[in-house]
Amino acid sequence: MAFAGRWETETQEGYVEFCKLLGIPDDIIEKGRDYKLITEVTQDGDNFSWTQIYPTNARVTNKFTIGKESDMETIGGKKFKATVNMEGGKLTTTFPNYHHICEVSGGKLIETSKAGSVVLKRTSKKL
């Protein structure tokens, strides 16, 4: 249940490089560079609801069960199927263009997205 709660972005490393690699337009990258993403997570055993709220109040909610294929969606509206696994207390999944790992460490939510050699690391504090 460590993931459950409401989180706000504190820091991002590798944001611009990661977004460019995914083909996000420069104007959108610039708008999102300093935003404080809110992540809301509810957990009931192996069942999760993971919502990301963007400054424009755009929301993306993905519901998944550990170890089972689920329907997912990106902020860009791309729909895909993915399986989220729990490995050593970390949630791991593969999105269409990158691998994503989430963990709670030192009371912070740490999300690491990796595409090739480019890494985006987002650290959030609990609200």
Going residue by residue through the chain, which has 127 residues, state the pLDDT in tens, using 9 for 90 and above. 799 999 999 999 999 998 888 788 888 788 777 788 899 999 999 999 999 998 777 789 999 999 999 999 876 678 899 999 999 999 999 877 889 999 999 999 999 999 889 999 999 999 9
64 forms beta bridges with 48
Q: Which two tokens stand for residue 118?
A: 């480019």
The span from the CA of 99 to the CA of 110, in Å, is: 14
pLDDT at 24: 81
Tokens for 78?
A: 């791309």
What are the structure tokens assigned to 86, written together? Answer: 């729990």
pLDDT at 8: 96
Q: Which CATH class is domain 5-126?
A: mainly beta
pLDDT of residue 55: 73
Nearest to 126 by CA among 28, 38, 44: 38
Predicted local distance difference test score (pLDDT) of residue 96? 78
Name the pTM for this structure: 0.88
Residue 54 has which token pair?
Answer: 């963007």
DSSP 29: H
What integer pLDDT is reported at residue 3 of this predicted model? 95
CA distance 99 to 108: 20
Domain coordinates in residue numbering, the chain: 5-126
